[in-house]
Amino acid sequence: MKLIGVTSCPSGVAHTYMAAEALETAARAKGWEAKIETQGAIGIENELTAADIESADVVVLTKDIAIKKEERFAGKKIVRVTVTQAAKQAPEIVSKLEAMLAQA
């Protein structure tokens, strides 16, 4: 499985990066590939490529503020969470995604 996502928060500082790290760590703990783009105070980092998006099984987007270039994910399975949920509940989110994908 491959999880990609974009994290962003209103201030674009700590929570953006904490959420990205937590999601990547939780996905890798399940043996998944993971790449999370951050959209923070200094702009877009770890930007997802077209190949990343094409090969992804699921996309996690934080919903605290609008994600830039969200149209890239058209046609993909998208799950929206708050940046706080991503930072604090990443293992639970990934487990729910795993169950959702298993049923698909």
pLDDT of the residue at 26: 98
Task: Give, as one character, the DSSP assignment of residue 47.
Answer: P
Looking up residue 51, the CATH number of its domain turns out to be 3.40.50.2300
pLDDT of the residue at 11: 84
62-65-69-72 Cα dihedral, nearest 10 degrees: 30
Each residue of 41-67: pLDDT tens digit?
889 999 999 999 999 999 999 999 999
Residues identified as active-site: 9
> 6: which 2 tokens?
């974009």
pLDDT band for 12, please (50, 70, 90 cuts). confident
Q: Is the pLDDT of residue 82 over 80?
A: yes
Domain containing 67 equals 2-103
User: Which amino acid, residue 75?
Assistant: G
- Nearest CA to 64 among 4, 12, 2, 5? 12
Q: Is the pLDDT of residue 104 over 90?
A: no
Q: Is the pLDDT of residue 68 over 80?
A: yes
pTM for the predicted model, two decimal places: 0.95
> 62: which 2 tokens?
């934080």
* Structural domain count, the chain: 1
Q: Is the pLDDT of residue 96 over 90?
A: yes
Return d(Cα 14, Cα 9) in angstroms, integer.
Answer: 9
